Amino acid sequence: MPPATSPGRDTYRHGDLRRALIEAGVELAREGGPAAVGVREATRRVGVTPNAAYRHFVDRLALLDAVCSACQSRVAIAMETEQEAALAVLGGPAAGSPAAPALTDAETRALRARLRFRAVGTGYLRFALAEPGLFGAAFSPSSDLESATSAARAGTTGRTPFELLTAALDDLVAVGVLPSERRPGAEFLAWSAVHGLAALLIDGPLRALDPDQVQSLVGRVVTMVEQGL
């Protein structure tokens, strides 16, 4: 339960009020999804009056949009982390063992592109399952395709979740894994598949599956997308 605050204060003595309100909104989203994000509760947690918040956010939807951006940034970071881990395994000691066949440069580039693409999907799904409230806020009605390239929604590489997906698909084309004629619109097909699985696992009829079944589904859906493009 959050600590009691002074509801009458309309100043903020600890720096950036806008950032503090967004962080409070993110915590509200973590606890209850986008529906839980509200100006009054965010200001109560920060310790200022609602009037102080309206200097930064004209209404609840403006705050929710900022929270959406912060949550999408976290999704992007999760996807980047998954990509780094996948490529680290590729470059690990096992890669140079006598039992591992040597790959040509072209084969290595293709394998790296495939691993990056798969990591986009697995990173997205793992974040969704680990942080369902933040995931719901990230892709709430405040989110739309026009904002999918907003810098506020980017991860550490400067790419948003949507941009990480499109870049991974472009890499597949560049190395010859994905025929160029099948590239248009592929991001929407891939996104729909993994997002649909996330929704079914979080709030839908698949929510009661055990962890092993969930892990199997995540891998199989990503494989289905990779092979079906």
Domain range list for the chain: 71-228
pLDDT tier, 67 (very low <50, low <70, confident <90, very high otherwise): very high
In this predicted model, which residue has the larger pLDDT, 222 or 3? 222
The whole-angstrom separation of Cα 58 and Cα 21 is 13
SS3 labels along 45-93: HHCCCHHHHCCCCCCHHHHHHHHHHHHHHHHHHHHHHHHHHHHHHHCCH
pLDDT tier, 102 (very low <50, low <70, confident <90, very high otherwise): confident
Selection from 155, 190, 150, 154 nearest residue 170 by Cα? 190
Class of the CATH-defined domain 71-228: mainly alpha
> Which residues, other chains included, contact 155 with Cβ-Cβ below 8 Å and sequence gap of 6+?
73, 75, 76, 77, 79, 80, 161, 164
Question: pTM for the full model?
Answer: 0.88
pLDDT tier, 5 (very low <50, low <70, confident <90, very high otherwise): very low
Are 121 and 83 in contact by the 8 Å Cβ rule? The answer is no
Q: What is the mean pLDDT of the chain?
A: 90
Q: What is the pLDDT of residue 97?
A: 46
Q: What is the arithmetic mean of pLDDT over 156-175? A: 97
DSSP letter assigned to residue 145: G
